[in-house]
Amino acid sequence: MAASTGTSVRTLFIVLFCLMIASFVYLFLFGDYLSCFDLHARWTIQGTADFTTYVVVIGAWVAYKESSWIRAAVVMVTMYFMGSIISIGYILMQFYKLSPEEYLNDPLYFLLARRQKWEVSKGPSVIAARIIFSVLGCLVLGVLIYTIIVELSPSYKYFTSCLATNAIDIYIHVVILSVWVAYKESSWASAFFWIALLICFRGVTICAYIVRELFYLSPQHPTSLIIVKSGNRQVLQRTQFDK
C-alpha cells in the first residue's frame, strides 16, 4: 500500500513536471513572456503573493533537507525564478534517493524527513515560526482583498498571455502542498476540507494550516516535526536528537 502510494505520487509529479515544461516552452515560443513582469496585469500581484508563499513554505523544507545552506539557497532562488519546474524537480530527486526498503516501508515519510542527522537547535523556534507564518498569511490575505476590490474596477486590465502559465505554476504548487496535507491528515474528510480551502484561497490557507500545526507543538519541540504526520513524529524526533 505504501509503495503504491509512493509510485502514484511520483507518477503524478512526473506528469506535472512535463506539463510545466510544456507551458514554459509555449510561453516563450508563442506568448508574450514580458507580460509576466507587468504588475498592473490582472491578478499578477495576487499570483506573486501566493507564489512567494509557496517558495517560502517549500524552501523551508528544502533548507531542512539540505546539509548545506548554500545549496539550499541556490535551490530556493532558482525556484523563485523557475517555479514548479525546480520544486517538482527537487522532489523527484528526493524520490530517486530512496532505498528500496524506504520505498516499500513509507516512501512519503522518508521523502519528507531529513536523511542526515540534524541538530535540533537549527531553524526558527516554534513561537518564531508561528509569528512568521501568521504575518505572511495576513499579508497574503490583504493582497487577496485588495486584488478582489481592484478586479471589480471596469478599468482593470484583462488576462495577459502569461496568466495561463502562472496559473498552471501556482496550481501545481497547490497540488504539491495538497499531497502533503493529505499525507498529514488522519481522515479523508479533514484532508478534503483543507485541500478545498487550499484550492480556493491558496497562500492564505497554507499559512493558516501551518500555524495550526505549529500550535500542536510545544515551544520546546523542533519546528521540523510539523513536516511529518503525528504517527511519525517520535521516529523523526529520535533521529534529530541522535548524534
Taking alpha carbons only, the member of 32, 30, 33, 122 closest to residue 69 is 122
This prediction's pTM? 0.88
In tens, the pLDDT along 126-138 reads 999 999 999 999 9
Structural domains of the chain, count: 1
Tell me which of 33 and 221 has the higher pLDDT. Answer: 221
Give the start-end residues of each E strand in 96-142.
none
Give the pLDDT of residue 30: 78
Region 130-154 average pLDDT: 86
In tens, the pLDDT along 22-46 reads 998 888 887 776 667 666 666 678 8
Q: Domain of residue 63: give its range.
A: 2-241
Q: What is the mean pLDDT of the chain?
A: 85
**Helix, strand, coil share (%) of the chain residues, nearest 5:** 75, 0, 25
Taking alpha carbons only, the member of 114, 111, 116 closest to residue 98 is 111
Give the pLDDT of residue 2: 76
